[in-house]
A and B are shown apart, each in its own frame.
Chain A
Amino acid sequence: MMKIRKVLAAAALIAGGLLTAQMATAGDKIRIATEGAYAPFNMVDSSGELIGFDVEIAKALCAQMQADCEIVAQDWDGIIPGLRARKYDAIVASMSITEERMRVVDFSEKYYSNVLAFVTPEGSDIVVTKEGLKGKTVGAQRATIAGQYLEDNLGDVVNVKLYDTQDNAYLDLATGRLDALLSDKFPAYDWLRSDDGKGFAFNGEDIDINDEIGIAVRKGDSLKNKFSAAIKAIVADGTYAKINEKYFPFSIY
């Protein structure tokens, strides 16, 4: 009997300790998750530090809200469940605001807008219109907005090839298997600037597909409005533009 009581007491102590520790962190800190695998928005540098546009925006927002923030890395697949399980309080990871996700989380106002763009070899004579692309082979990543756009709008005239990863699509563009690639513009911009993207360029106008990127928080959390207000504030005071400039020579808001 004594033994059981001792164990129970110890368990209660430990549980109590954990609880207070948990409450302490929950009280002072906003914990923010990002993925760390979507350059140039969120990635890990050689010292293991999270960097990128999302990370800098998150830090600027915290400074604006005068909150103490901790940024953690979380795999994409577990990122929404982790939020709901209170592992962290917000997701700043280039997440598109979609109806499906709105069912399980709340989103702040957008902090940037995603557009699509075609990439072709430099000096290619392809005109990226329905007419110009007739009979060409155009690639995109499967299960992305770019892939869907390609199928829905050009599926009847071009030969659509869908890849499991964006990198595989880049490989085929480089070997000439693809005449053109349709992709989210900003990651592609980053690729074009790197060594790998030498010899390729954007072709034609951006395609606006009304894809807004927001910050996800738990349903009903008051953080939603705080983040929205902070986004407005950093856009207004020029902090946003400064961060934007470091990554892209054009506004992505």
Chain B
Amino acid sequence: MTWEWDVIWKYFPRLLEGAWLTMELVLISGLIGIALAIPLALMRASKLPWIKALPFTYIYFFRGTPLLVQIFLVYYGASQFEVVRESFLWPVLKQPYWCAIIAFSLNTAAYSAELFRSAIQAIPVGEIEAAEAMGMSKNVQIRRIIMPRAFGIALPAYGNEVILMLKGSALASTITLLDLTGMARTIIARTYTPLEMFLAAGVVYLAISALIIALFRFMEYRFNRYQYYHHADTPADLDPQLRDPHIDQK
């Protein structure tokens, strides 16, 4: 077997171009995904069955089907209908770039909504009762207490979701986009060096994952800073009524 290092060096700049598109896709669909996931999660956490039903169906569909089907439904499926092709949406749906973003956003929104829902339900009841006792309205509670707390609780799991999005973004290459995988495939069609180019692409993917992991570690440290405070030991002779069980546990 001949191993061609020079092919890797020669085409590496083009791979990096692809990597840039990959990161752009992940970032933009990640942000849109969060924006969609928050209302979905709040609806899912609701106690009213008719409010819960809609996000449930949405989440069930997007978590139960392959991302490849979803991306093909948006890219090829939408164009089946004359109405869509005549409408103001077509200039957007015509472009594979936006189709990929739409599919990835809808997909990650479904997964993130479940993460946020379980985070919302993991907030200690006492904290919400305390907010109520302070006279906060439901809206203020959501903005000041529920969202920030849920975000902190969901952060580590959300970091995993972003890594999964990164891996899923490789599917952009199936609708002609030249993301990292698409770029590698296009180069290989000419150079016939699949092992070399896919290895190089793999290394770039691992580097991006490492970057994402580091970013989330840092954010978690900043966001959940209270967990990292070192509490002074409670004096042994403290009046039992003043003891805080949370601190004693640590």
Touching chains A and B, CB distance < 8 Å: yes
Residue in B85, B96, B189 whose CB lies within 8 Å of A148: B189
Q: How far is the CA of A84 from the CA of B186 in the complex (A)?
A: 30
Chain A 4-47 interface residues, beta-carbon cutoff 8 Å to B: none
Q: How far is the CA of A177 from the CA of B186 in the complex (A)?
A: 20
- Interface pairs A-B: 10 shortest CB-CB: A175-B79, A161-B176, A143-B189, A142-B189, A177-B94, A171-B76, A164-B174, A148-B190, A162-B186, A147-B189
Q: Let me know if A139 is at the binding interface, CB within 8 A.
A: yes
Q: Let me know if A176 is at the binding interface, CB within 8 A.
A: yes
| Contact pattern, B 169-207, Cβ under 8 Å of A = 1, otherwise 0 | 000001010000000011011101000000000000000
- A151 contacts B190, C-beta separation under 8 Å: yes
Q: How far is the CB of B199 from chain A (nearest CB, A)?
A: 19
- A162 contacts B85, C-beta separation under 8 Å: no
| Contact pattern, B 79-98, Cβ under 8 Å of A = 1, otherwise 0 | 10000010000000010100
Q: Let me know if A168 is at the binding interface, CB within 8 A.
A: yes
With A161-B176, A162-B176, A176-B94 known as contacts, the answer to whether A168 contacts B76 (CB < 8 A) is yes
Q: Let me know if A191 is at the binding interface, CB within 8 A.
A: no
Q: Is the interface of B mostly helix, strand, loop or mixed?
A: helix
Q: Which residue of B lies closest to A143 (CB)?
A: B189
- B189 contacts A163, C-beta separation under 8 Å: no
With A148-B190, A151-B190, A162-B176 known as contacts, the answer to whether A142 contacts B185 (CB < 8 A) is yes
Q: How far is the CB of A50 from chain B (nearest CB, A)?
A: 30
Q: How far is the CA of A100 from the CA of B185 in the complex (A)?
A: 19
- A175 contacts B189, C-beta separation under 8 Å: no
Q: How far is the CA of A143 from the CA of B173 in the complex (A)?
A: 13
Residue in A161, A163, A168, A176 whose CB lies within 8 Å of B85: A176
The total of Cβ contacts below 8 Å across the A-B interface reads 34
B85 proximity list for chain A (CB < 8 A)? 175-176
Considering only CB atoms and an 8 Å cut-off, how many residues of chain B contact the other chain?
13
Residue numbers of A with Cβ under 8 A of B are: 100, 139, 142-143, 147-148, 151-152, 161-164, 168, 171-172, 175-177
8 contacts between A and B (CB under 8 A): A100-B192, A147-B189, A161-B96, A162-B186, A162-B189, A163-B176, A177-B79, A177-B94
Of the listed residues A100, A139, A151, the one surrounded by the most CB atoms of chain B closer than 10 A to its CB is A151
A-B contact sample (17 more), CB < 8 A, given A100-B192, A162-B176, A162-B186: A139-B176, A142-B185, A142-B186, A143-B185, A143-B189, A147-B189, A148-B189, A148-B190, A151-B186, A161-B96, A161-B176, A164-B174, A168-B76, A172-B176, A175-B79, A175-B85, A177-B94
A168 proximity list for chain B (CB < 8 A)? 76
Q: Which residue of B lies closest to A169 (CB)?
A: B176
Q: How far is the CB of B13 from chain A (nearest CB, A)?
A: 15
A162 proximity list for chain B (CB < 8 A)? 176, 185-186, 189
Q: How far is the CA of A194 from the CA of B85 in the complex (A)?
A: 23
B188 proximity list for chain A (CB < 8 A)? 143
Q: How far is the CA of A151 from the CA of B178 in the complex (A)?
A: 13
B190 proximity list for chain A (CB < 8 A)? 148, 151-152
Of the listed residues A139, A142, A161, A175, the one surrounded by the most CB atoms of chain B closer than 10 A to its CB is A175
Q: Which residue of A lies closest to B72 (CB)?
A: A168
Q: How far is the CB of A209 from chain B (nearest CB, A)?
A: 14
Q: How far is the CA of A176 from the CA of B85 in the complex (A)?
A: 9
Q: How far is the CA of A142 from the CA of B187 in the complex (A)?
A: 10
Q: Which residue of B lies closest to A152 (CB)?
A: B190
Q: Which residue of B lies closest to A164 (CB)?
A: B174
Q: How far is the CA of A171 from the CA of B79 in the complex (A)?
A: 9
Q: How far is the CB of B51 from chain A (nearest CB, A)?
A: 37
B176 proximity list for chain A (CB < 8 A)? 139, 161-163, 172
B174 proximity list for chain A (CB < 8 A)? 164
